[in-house]
Amino acid sequence: MELKHIKEEKCSDCGAAIATEITNQKHTNGLWNEERHFTCGKRVHFIPNYGIDYEPRIDRECPNSKRVKAIHSKRSKLNEQITELINNSKVDGDYKQRLRDGIRFI
């Protein structure tokens, strides 16, 4: 089924191709729920509940976009700074390891 509300034919950030398209859950207003996933991981979603004027939203940003890359770069830099602070602190090694383990999953 052709998507009617999602017009992006390839990822507008990196040019990746379409990987998957989903249409399901027809709303009582007659509009279908639409999703388009790109091979880079970006996901665009049209939600019929909000009406025909609603713009599709990005459920998952392109990991190759400048914005996402900038966020990851800043986070990585902060993580390195925190790790260096932990490593240079005077607390015991067990506690240092627990701190490093704690920030690994943020």
Instruction: Summarize as ranges the residues that interact with Zn ion (CB under 5 A).
Output: 11, 13-14, 16, 40, 42, 62, 64
Q: How far is the CB of 74 from Zn ion (least distance, A)?
A: 20
Q: Please, which residue, 13 or 34, has the CB nearer to Zn ion?
A: 13
Question: Using CA atoms, how far apart are residues 62 and 58, in angstroms rounded to an integer?
Answer: 9
- Closer residue to Zn ion (CB): 38 or 48: 38
Please say whether the beta carbons of 67 and 46 come within 8 A.
Answer: no
User: CB-side exposure of 57: number of CA atoms within 13 Å?
Assistant: 7
Least separation in angstroms between residue 16's CB and Zn ion is: 4
